[in-house]
Structure 1
């Protein structure tokens, strides 16, 4: 078996499709390093090194995701021009090239306010590129990947990305612990950017199927927005996406800061006990999840996965600088098992519930709302930590004798909102091919008993 066929040969027969799918998988092996660096512990450490507080850190992370707010325009351009491949490349390069300059600026600018403003400006440019690349990628994959193999394909893609993620994470963590200060961050960010550009370049040889015909010459965004909202199947999924992401992202960016500032974990320890543990578990579970999705549908897998993930923030509240190892590993075992179930089913449902015609517009509407919610949630979480949590945490500690810190408050809030919103909105999503949750539960229990 040829290396290039390793990941798709056993479930794809068409040679041209096989080649394209393998290139999509190869690309994510480069891209995952870029995203881990620009959204994970390195960017948190970079913000800390620059002296930015939690609120400014939230603003930094909010800018790239605000690109969702212009995805409606990106969708319009895509549907008018039908130049999906060209738009993907332009968006990809615009999204990633500014990251070469972001870690270099602190060497030349000492004024913190000016530095923050310039970084935010560059991040806004990446947001524009991200809007175009996200819309074109989802539209492209919706037409390229046959629906009957999407679960298996994206699970394989996720598995390999996970493997590359923990290998690169260890190397980056080891490097940052030894090359301290801005020089270390500059080297890591520039290297990650180069890999991110290689990700984009892989798509030069990916087949781009003809887009479905649609007349956007007289497009009325107001009417199109109404049509999306009136599409009850997609609208219920949209509601879940909005509220679920709000619940996640008031806390999500701050776990890395919490580990660095409060738990005093090194970058290598974060890579080893956070990335490695969860990624190894993901590699072991993601193929099984893909098969479960193809057999039982996306909805039951998503229901079970969100239920478990809703309780993970509470475990962090038991961690201290002296006892964090057990609790961090416990969280990552559950995260590595169930987070892929959320990621895979979310993307699959977005493609499944959006119509073939004007799919990019539906995806743009989804990303428009999710992008705005994510950005506001990042900022809101930082605001709570800096201005709301201190008096509340001080009062609770004085009354109960506990030793909570400000981060614990948003962890608890996030857990409550995750559980509440998933239980409210998930049952309303309609997927014809999905089977009852009980059937999936019984299948899992039966498998577990057979292994005992």
Structure 2
């Protein structure tokens, strides 16, 4: 306290203004997450699967749609180079994120604008256009937020922000499930889309208040040298390729859980919402634990510890053969929430904290492209497999796939993950 008092008066206001500005920027970033969470929760996961089933989509078409969002991430490599040419990241971010919100929300108009036989194709067209725009918006947002949040508070800030927004998402998810059960079919989805249209507009509006933070550009001016920077980083590439392989396996089944529960197990939307809410609650609780561990151990080491937990959540599905269905499903969702909460938080910290600041957009793009390709082929292959085994015994469709994938994940984690995700 005495040190602060003895500092020259001219220095105090400057520090106070800087601290106040940082706090204001973080508040804006948190506020922006509220409409974004409501908007996205009601358009993805169980609601996306349910809407596609309502439109008449097959399991392979559902797998394609679930995978599509990650395929377009390959385009982030080009965007990471192009943003170096921008005088301002803010307005490009507002433009592309606004396009994404408008186009994705417009999928709700498909039943009103197209004949029934064209519903699925029209949905896929709008959905694809939305996520092409999101490719640019995602790179810009990640670049801005990594500069907006000071490194010394990054772990604590994202932990609090993620916990708060996931709690909100749980409430929205449950409410959406109740609406679809009370108003089945088109009426329920119309109510959800009205809420979506309102909050997508609010979300775009809040982005106007984002600051235009200073951008430290790459020292490279040509695409090829910039592209090669992460490729020449051996430790980064080994980790990224391993995590891509892991996500390929994980996404063979996880994105299709809602399909299995809605179509094969005949579980209603309210119960499905409760399952997902339980997953989210334990994911939120795990943020605090993983965050504290991250203060002692490296991102990569902790990433390895999340892998057996995620694999165990898949293997738990096998207990459906001997234990009550809902008990097993709740256990599997809870364990998955703990594992994937840590995985997502630590992977994000890995790409924004363990990479050079000036080259970070290209590192982020490379990670997104490689993991995106893996995450694209996962649900696509998974959807095709479910279509091929449609006439096999029901146990194979309900939990046989999960047992096989869980076993492969355990083998991958301990045979390769232990060597790759270790402290150097």
Q: Find the counterpart in structure 1 of residue 95 from structure 2.
A: 90
For residue 210 of structure 1, what is the aligned residue in structure 2? 214
Report deviation, 1:431. Answer: 5.4
Q: Is the 8 A contact 1:263 1:324 kept in 2?
A: no
Q: Could you say what secondary structure the match of 2:272 adopts?
A: helix
2:129 aligned residue = 125
Question: Is 1:421 matched with 2:423?
Answer: no
1:69 aligns with 2:60: no
Root mean square deviation, CA, Å = 2.4
1:81 maps to which residue?
A: 86
CA distance in 2, matches of 1:145, 1:420: 37
Match of 2:249 in 1: 247
Instruction: After superposition, give the CA deviation of every residue in 1:41-96 in whole Å (9 maximum; x if it has no partner).
Output: 11111111122110011122222322202111211221111422122211211111
Match for residue 111 of structure 2 among 106, 115, 122: 106
Structure 2: runs of 5 or more not aligned: 1-17
Aligned pair in 2 of structure 1 residues 428, 80: CA closer, same or farther (>3 Å)?
A: same
1:385/1:407 contact within 8 Å kept: no
Q: Deviations over 1:13-37 (max 9, x none)?
A: 9221112112222222222222222
Deviating beyond 6 angstroms after TM superposition, the runs of 4 or more aligned structure 1 residues are none
Q: Structure 1's 321 and 349: CA in aligned 2 closer, same or farther, altered over 3 A?
A: same
**How many Å apart are 1:278 and its aligned residue?**
2.2
Question: Which residue, 174, 186, 193 being the options, matches 1:170?
Answer: 174
Q: Are the aligned partners of 2:96 and 2:136 in contact in 1 as well (CA < 8 Å)?
A: yes
TM-score (ref. length: structure 1): 0.83
Displacement of 1:320 in angstroms is 7.2
Helix, strand or coil at the partner of 2:371 = helix
* Alpha-carbon spacing, 1:97–1:417, altered in 2? closer, same or farther (3 Å): farther
Q: Does 1:51 align with 2:56?
A: yes
1:412 — aligned with what?
Answer: 403
User: Please, which moves more after superposition, 133-142 or 290-299?
Assistant: 290-299
Counterparts of residues 185-204 of structure 1 (less than 5 Å): 185-204=189-208
1:232 aligns with 2:234: yes
Written as runs of structure 1 = structure 2, the 5 A alignment for 1:275-354 is: 275-319=276-320, 323-354=324-355
Match of 2:5 in 1: none
Determine if contact 1:165/1:275 at 8 Å carries over to the other structure.
no
After alignment, is 76-85 or 255-264 more displaced? 76-85
Q: 1: distance between equivalents of 2:125 and 2:418?
A: 37
- Residue aligning to 1:385: 386
Q: Following the alignment from structure 2 to structure 1, what is the Cα–Cα distance between the partners of residues 335 and 69?
A: 28
Match of 2:154 in 1: 150
Deviation readout 1:350-380 (Å, 9 max, x if unpaired): 1123211121111111111222221221111
User: 2 CA distance for matches of 1:157 and 1:70?
Assistant: 28
C-alpha separation in 2, matches of 1:378 and 1:134: 21
Whole-angstrom distance in 1 between the partners of 2:101 and 2:127: 10
CA distance in 2, matches of 1:415, 1:261: 22
Cα distance change, pair 162–418 in 1 and its aligned pair in 2 (3 A): same
2:29 aligned with 1:19: no
What SS does the aligned partner of 1:97 have? helix
**Alpha-carbon separation, structure 2, partners of 1:69 and 1:300:** 27
**Number of residue-to-residue matches in the alignment:** 407
The aligned counterpart of 1:373 is 374
Separation in 2, partners of 1:104, 1:164: 26
**Secondary structure of residue in 1 paired with 2:320:** coil
Deviation at 1:296, TM superposition (A): 2.3
2:150 is aligned with 1:159: no
- Inter-partner Cα distance in structure 2 for 1:160 and 1:230: 38
Where 1:100 maps in the other structure, the secondary structure is helix
- 1:320 and 1:261 map into 2 onto residues whose CA distance is 18
Unpaired runs of 5+ in structure 1? 1-12, 395-402, 433-452
Task: Tell me, yes or no, if structure 1 residue 180 matches structure 2 residue 172.
Answer: no
Identify if the C-alpha distance between structure 1 residues 88 and 294 changes in structure 2 by more than 3 Å, giving closer, same or farther.
farther
Cα offset, 1:328, TM superposition: 1.6
